[in-house]
Amino acid sequence: MIELIREALRNLRRHKLRTFLTALGIIFGVASVMSMVSTGEGARRAILQQIGELGIRNIIINAHRPPEESNVQQQQGQSWTIEYGLTFHDADQIRETLPAVLEVLPVHDVDKWIWFKSRRLEAKVRGVTPEYFERLSYRPMLGRTLTADDGLHRRRTCVVRARLLRDAQYLGDPLELDLKVGSEYFRVVGVLPDTEFQSPNRAALGIDDRTLEVYVPFDTVIDRFGLENRKFRSGSFESSKVELHQLLCVIDDENHVETSARGIQTILSSFHKKKDYEVTVPLELLESRRKTQRVFDIVLPIVAGISLLVGGIGVLNIMLASITERTREIGIRRALGATGLDITWQFLVETVTLTSLGGLLGVALGVGGTQVLQRLTDWKAVITPWSLALSLGVSMLTGIAFGLYPARKAAAMEPIAALRHE
């Protein structure tokens, strides 16, 4: 067998260009399949991870600033106050009406600049309760998350993402860092890792970029900054009043998520005249994603099949030409005692060697192409071992499928006719 492969390699080397061109069909087929599979797999994992991070038993309600024209605006001298968003009343209603809802965690954001020394940092300050971290599976890589005591004593503590430390170009002990939010100083007590996956799908899914968040105790925020937010913007002070920016509802069971989501929609729509909120159900996102994935799982093998079919036909064509060209050699081999089976094997091994080489190069090109694609875009590609094995396996199978006919044809030649062939 090894000798047959060696012989096959030699025959292929005799016509380098022809071999290369023939293998090209297989190379491109395998390469495109490889890169499709790995970018697809990367995207799938990123989305599943992001959705998983939101928690499949959670329902997230975000406050929305309603469109400008429908604003209820109260003119007070030179400034505006816009009132919108979720309220404590909403939270109570949901908690009391829906038995499947275990907890409703309030979140209040502070629209203030955040400073480290004289450097202004790009971040969003969220007042959250201690349970928030656990429900969203946020685990600190350093220090701790916020505790009930932080809220009870109105402590000015905060938990940051690792990215913030980099942005601040702070090199000391993170747990000795003080950040200035508005006019108040907050001590960092814990650092969370950056969210691992970032993809263009994040925005499409309505998931916030949580790498730019700073978490402070909910009670401290309400105490220190109140509910109103004032900001100097385009020549005038703009003031907005939002009680709660987010509600995180935790449902007791996965099977109750759907009904609870409908219940929440009903409650909110009866208390809000305008649609100034949005309900995100991670479980639904997950399911719709799974459906998309299923389409992908069907389309991909078809595309792969077609490209390998095209490559395989090229191989078939060249092998048929090759046996015609080598008819006399086949005759000589038969005269010297090669059986039909010997001839079949010789050409089959040659074809499979050709397609396997194509497969190998295709995998290499696919892996390389994926890396380039990853460099150029911010897609995350994941090359799974099974996709490597599958690509090689399929290219070998292509060799067998399209090599069998020419090999059998070569074996079926009459020895004497083959020998006389000029």
Partner 1 sequence: MPAILELHGVEKIYGSGPAALRVLSDVNLTVEQGEYVAVVGPSGSGKSTLLNIFGCLDVPSSGRYLVEGKDTATLDDTQLSHLRNRRIGFVFQSFHLVSHLTVLENVELPLFYARRPRAERRRRALELIEAVGLSGRAGHRPAQLSGGERQRTAIARALANEPALLLADEPTGNLDSVTSREIMALIGRLHRDGATVVLITHDPEIARLAPRRVALRDGRVESDSGRTAAVEAGA
Name the site residues for partner 1 (rule: CB under 8 A): 3, 10-11, 14, 328-329, 331-342, 415-416, 419
Question: What is the closest distance, in whole angstroms, from the C-beta atom of residue 291 to partner 1 in the complex?
Answer: 56
Q: What is the dihedral of CA 196, 202, 205, 209, to 10 degrees?
A: 80
Nearer to partner 1, 13 or 375 (CB): 13
Question: What is the closest distance, in whole angstroms, from the C-beta atom of residue 335 to partner 1 in the complex?
Answer: 5
Helix (H, G, I), strand (E, B) or coil at 158: strand
**Bridge partners of 250?**
58, 103
Nearer to partner 1, 277 or 347 (CB): 347
Question: What is the closest distance, in whole angstroms, from the C-beta atom of residue 17 to partner 1 in the complex?
Answer: 16
Residue carrying structure tokens 């497969």: 359
- Closest to 53 (Cα-Cα) out of 132, 150, 163: 132
Question: What is the closest distance, in whole angstroms, from the C-beta atom of residue 332 to partner 1 in the complex?
Answer: 5
Residue 60 in tokens = 């997230």
Nearer to partner 1, 94 or 411 (CB): 411
Residue 74 in tokens = 């109260």
Residue 237 in tokens = 């002070």
Nearer to partner 1, 332 or 396 (CB): 332
- Closest to 358 (Cα-Cα) out of 407, 314, 321: 314
Residue pair 8/347 in contact (Cβ under 8 Å)? The answer is no
- Distances from the Cα of 156 to the Cα of 65, 126, 284, 371, angstroms: 28, 13, 37, 45
Question: What is the closest distance, in whole angstroms, from the C-beta atom of residue 409 to partner 1 in the complex?
Answer: 15
Question: What is the closest distance, in whole angstroms, from the C-beta atom of residue 414 to partner 1 in the complex?
Answer: 9
Nearer to partner 1, 130 or 340 (CB): 340
Q: What angle do CA 301, 305, 306 make, to 5 degrees?
A: 125
Nearer to partner 1, 10 or 153 (CB): 10
